[in-house]
Amino acid sequence: MLAHEIRARVARGEVSPLEVAQTYLKRVWELDHGLGAFLTLNENLLEEARGVDPGLPLAGLLVAVKDNIVTKGLRTTAGSRLLENFLPPYEATAVARLKAQGALVLGKTNLDEFGMGSSTEHSAFFPTKNPFDPSRVPGGSSGGSAAAVAADLAPLALGSDTGGSVRQPAGFCGIYGLKPTYGRVSRFGLIAYASSLDQIGPMARSARDLALLMDAMAGLDPLDATSLDLPPRFQEALGEPLPPLRLGVVREGLSGNSPGVEEALEEALAVFRGLGFDVKEVSWPSLPLALPAYYILAPAEASSNLARYDGTLFGVRGEGEEIFEVVEATRARFGLEVKRRILVGTFVLSSGYYEAYYGRAQALRRRLRAEARALFGEVDLLLLPTTPHPAFPLGGRPDPLAMYREDLYTVGANLAGLPALSFPAGFEGPLPLGLQLLAPWGKDELLLRAAFAHEEATGGAFVRTPLGEAL
């Protein structure tokens, strides 16, 4: 069942929060051993479920939380050996708000270490597999969350999106994934990768379920100075008639795609035209340059953010050689991809290279934003593939540059701070495909309305549960 259907049954007294928790926990124990979606399960889940008030807005709903979002008293590793025994003494705002409305944390999901990767192969513990084909990746870095929702091990999940890490795995796993407008959801409690790009986002098997999470999470947070005072009205917006909309198909996303992606684009455009959308092709000239700019700016911020872990291995600092030994031991606990990005970030910020690399990347970011603002003077929404192809095989991207190109269509929204939503739109063989919609700054509700209209028009035909019967 979809999350909003579970919630309705709990509200009618047909099923209790405890029964929902028991059912999902049993399914995780039966199926996750071959999938690797979870790093940690909530040992107190059943006790917490017994105490939930069925009248709360999210009572009976379980949420799988990406393991770079801190959960009080529940292990949070960021997919790294460096934090494998970290028990946070505080709660991320997004999680606290969900729990206050009756939702329960089912467990913490696998990810590429510190969110750095596009396949969940860079977890320090084990890779996650795609539920539709265990020989393929689920995407990354929120691959554990995407796999959990796709396999119906959890009805809802939280991920984080720095350059596409909610949307790309959502596309690979055939679910919905939203990167909100930067600041729409508080980042307090999100372990930082690149602070000007990071954003917590919901993942689910329907647009209505995304709305449930966003209404509970979004809004101003005094603990996050970058949070926005935009009151959420997502579920209300889904009930409103869809106005005539202008849809711009981004020309820079129309070449180099697999046959399945091209077919999905054609079918989606036919659906949107049938819904009354005015469709036209538009150009976002700087989009092809967004990828190199991102892989300068994000590592630069990461090199600063991850410097806080120097010396944390033993928790003390000495003098002279002792300091050196502690710092070196800490660095040895970082995985290869994290080290690679720290080194790139340190290089582009170093004397003599700052303006040549970091300064030019920031200039490109400003140009990308300006072009997006101009585009949204012509159209209401933009349409792009989420990825150029379906999920690739485990081990299929040994070249780091090839792995980075997986973010080709997703990084533009992060650099511009725009909301973007990946929705299921087709299959290539047995593998799901996603397309993404982008909206102007702060117009997140419009994205969900458009995705919901597509979902209703297609009867949810592109959402399937690959591991046994859906609950």
Yes or no: say if 252 and 284 are a contact pair by the CB < 8 Å rule: yes
pLDDT in tens, the chain (471 residues): 899 999 999 999 999 999 999 999 999 999 999 999 999 999 999 999 999 999 999 999 999 999 999 999 999 999 999 999 999 999 999 999 999 999 999 999 999 999 999 999 999 999 999 999 999 999 999 999 999 999 999 999 999 999 999 999 999 999 999 999 999 999 999 999 999 999 999 999 999 999 999 999 999 999 999 999 999 999 999 999 999 999 999 999 999 999 999 999 999 999 999 999 999 999 999 999 999 999 999 999 999 999 888 765 544 444 545 544 545 555 558 999 999 999 999 999 998 889 999 999 999 999 999 999 999 999 999 999 999 999 999 999 999 999 999 999 999 999 999 999 999 999 999 999 999 999 999 999 999 999 999 999 999 999 988 865 545
CA contacts within 13 A on the Cβ side of 279 = 18
Q: What is the dihedral angle through the alpha carbons of 347, 198, 145, 335, rounded to the nearest 10 degrees?
A: 20
Q: What 3-state class would DSSP assign to 382?
A: strand
Instruction: Spell out a b/e string for 132-151, using b for 16 or more CB atoms within 10 Å of the CB, else e.
Output: bbbebbbbbbbbbbbbbbbb
Cα distance between residue 167 and residue 153, in whole Å: 19
* Of the candidates 55, 58, 177, 141, the residue with the CA atom closest to the CA atom of residue 106: 58
C-alpha distances in Å from residue 261, one per residue of 258, 277, 433, 435: 5, 21, 7, 8
User: What SS3 class is residue 355?
Assistant: helix
User: DSSP for 261-293?
Assistant: HHHHHHHHHHHHHHTT-EEEEE--TTHHHHHHH
For residues 154 and 2, what is the distance between their CA atoms, to the nearest angstrom? 10
pTM of the model: 0.94
Domain ranges of the chain: 3-242+412-458
Q: Which of 422, 397, 421 is nearest to 171 (CA)?
A: 422
Annotated active-site residue 304? The verdict is: no
User: What's the rounded Cα separation, in Å, for the pair 244 and 241?
Assistant: 10
Q: How many helices (DSSP H) and strands (DSSP E) are in the chain?
A: 16, 11
According to DSSP, the residues that pair with 420 across neighbouring strands are 179, 438
AA letter at 66: K
Residue 322 CB partners (closer than 8 Å, separation 6+): none
Domain made up of 3-242+412-458: CATH architecture: Alpha-Beta Complex (3.90)
Assign residue 48 a region: left if phi > 0, alpha if psi is -120 to 50, beta otherwise?
alpha
Say which residues have a Cβ less than 8 Å from residue 129's Cβ, sequence separation at least 6.
Answer: 34, 35, 36, 135, 136, 137, 138, 147, 394
CA distance to 84, 106, 196, 275, per residue, from 199 (Å): 23, 21, 9, 31
Task: Give the position of tokens 């997919």.
Answer: 79
289 by Cβ neighbours in 10 Å (0-12 / 13-18 / 19+) ranks as middle
Q: Active-site residue 118, yes or no?
A: no
Which listed residue (80, 119, 141, 286) is catalytic?
141
> Which of the following is catalytic: 66, 99, 108, 129?
66
What is the reported pLDDT for 466? 84
From the list 106, 6, 108, the residue with the least C-alpha distance to 46 is: 106
- Asked whether 424 and 437 are in contact (CB, 8 A), the reply is no
Q: Which phi and psi angles does 428 have, rounded to 5°?
A: -120, 100
Find tokens 């399960």 and name the residue: 41
In 3D, which of 296, 306, 293, 240 has the Cα closest to residue 78? 306
The residue annotated as part of the active site, out of 119, 145, 165, 303, is 165
Q: Is 66 a catalytic residue?
A: yes
